[in-house]
Amino acid sequence: MKNDPNYYGFPGGRPKWPFARTPKKPKPEPVTVPTVRHGVAILRLVDRGADTLRAIAPGLGMMRADSAIGLVAELDRSGYISRTRNDGRSERIISLTSKGRKALEMAQ
């Protein structure tokens, strides 16, 4: 009973209440315009319907789709866009998140 997580550390102690430690909600992050190079341009392209790297790279003036991988990955990590899982058989589909839509509205 001494190591029982449902009781406080002394014998015959009262049980821990399930609400004794409630996790606090995290503060919402303020939405800002992305600082990634070409970040706003990528958000605009995705908003207009470019949903793959092959469609985004020419819109940024890049010859190869591989050139935009790092930029799109950084926006994905920051939460502005979301990409589908990479199953190795198809391209990852890119879509805007609510944070990305809000940042796009702020940039205009």
d(CA 24, CA 32): 24
φ and ψ at residue 15, rounded to 5 degrees: -70, 150
pLDDT of residue 33: 87
Give the pLDDT confidence of 94-105 residue by residue, as tens digits.
999 999 999 999
Core vs surface per residue 23-39: b (16+ CB within 10 A) or e: eeeeeeeebeebebebb
- Taken in order of first residue, the domains within the chain and their CATH numbers are 39-107 (1.10.10.10)
> Helix, strand, or coil here: 22?
coil
d(CA 32, CA 29): 9
Give the pLDDT confidence of 32-78 residue by residue, as tens digits.
888 888 999 999 999 999 988 999 999 999 999 888 999 999 999 99
Residues 6+ apart with CB under 8 A from 64: 57
- Name the residue among 103, 106, 101, 108 with its Cα closest to residue 34: 103
pTM score, whole prediction? 0.70
